[in-house]
Amino acid sequence: MAQRFDLATLKLSGEVLPIASPVPISGNLGFGAFSASLDGTLVFRREPTRNRELVWVDRTGKRLSAATKPLQTYDSPIALSPDQKHVAYSIASGDRLAELWVHDLSRDVASRFTFAAGIARDPLWSADGSVLYYGFMMAGGVTFEIHRKALSGSGQDERLIQSGVNGNRTSVSRDGQYLLFNQTGSKTDADIWVLPLTGERKPVPYLQTPFGEGDAVFAPVAAPTRWVAYTSSESGRAEVYLQQFPASGAKYQVSTSGGAGPVWRADGRELYYVENGTVYAVPITLGSAIDIGTPTMLARNPNLLTFAAAADGQRFLAPLPAGGTDAAQPITAVLDWAAGVKH
């Protein structure tokens, strides 16, 4: 929308006029997908379709098969169970409302998993596949909590911690002893915190610096040394790093030209990440010594922003536009947009 503004009186006047529609808005930040320059040029992106389906793609990005029917997924990562028989995802059901669902891939049956009014998102499986961890914001709230609940439905939905604005769980250690989660600091950027899941359960920072850190995931290996892959902006752009747990200060850079959202292969011998709609794979050997290979470009798809990896790393499950429409949403430029508006 546009409205006249008087620079002398600093007041708005006249009608509010429509310029372009539909234009998406960031739910967290409130920014619209548009920009206007002083010379009368306007650029904007139209709202993409929210109808998506979970699709298996191979390592080149080629569609293999749809795992679900078209649905309206919430802007949240999906989670493939360790046995690859179930996938958990969040579905928007109204304005600032979303529930978690669990889809049985072998039976092609989806069951609702959460029922409280609010936003349930960011599902995460325990190593044995018996428990789901997830983020929850109650209806009308502004901050997230981290909850967990047994897949069987038995027992209570347990609130673990208040994780704050933009706080979300990212990983659970293989032995179920520690939970990693993001939290934005009052004097720092996004930080990575650890919540012990036994004892007093007192959260402590894992990485807390002036830079932004997040996407932390434990390596899925039963080694004497725990390793964590994470994203940091310390170089001036997002890159993927490896560091021991607890943090030792010694870190290894995995990505070479930007990257985010690290995902491990089930055996911990390969790490995947995304950069500009492209999935990269990096061979890794973890042990008393660490060996990191060269990133290799795999699947390229502008809509492939979040995904889950099959146990063998030969295919990926991702929410993609329904019907195979994988083209990037174009940006439209309008020159002298005011000339076409009736004043």
Please write the tens of the pLDDT for every residue from 216-240.
999 998 666 789 999 999 999 999 9
pTM above 0.85, yes or no: no
Question: Any idea which of 54-63, 252-261, 334-343 has the lowest mean pLDDT?
Answer: 334-343
Which positions ≥6 away from 10 have C-beta within 8 Å?
Answer: none
pLDDT greater than 90 at residue 77: no
- Structural contact between residues 135 and 122, judged by C-beta atoms closer than 8 angstroms: yes
Whole-number Å distance between alpha carbons of 130 and 112 = 16
Which positions ≥6 away from 157 have C-beta within 8 Å?
Answer: 114, 116, 147, 148, 149
- Structural contact between residues 161 and 155, judged by C-beta atoms closer than 8 angstroms: no
DSSP letter string over 104-156? Answer: ETTTTEEEE---SSEEEEEEEE-TTSSEEEEEEEETT-SSEEEEEEETT--SP
Determine the pLDDT at residue 282: 97
Determine the pLDDT at residue 48: 65
Amino acid, single-letter form, for residue 240: V
pLDDT greater than 60 at residue 28: no
- Structural contact between residues 297 and 248, judged by C-beta atoms closer than 8 angstroms: no
| More reliable by pLDDT, 261 or 52 | 261
Looking at residue 157, what DSSP letter applies? P
pLDDT greater than 70 at residue 109: yes
Whole-number Å distance between alpha carbons of 78 and 90 = 8
Grade residue 326 by pLDDT with cuts at 50, 70 and 90: low
Amino acid, single-letter form, for residue 300: R
- Structural contact between residues 123 and 101, judged by C-beta atoms closer than 8 angstroms: no
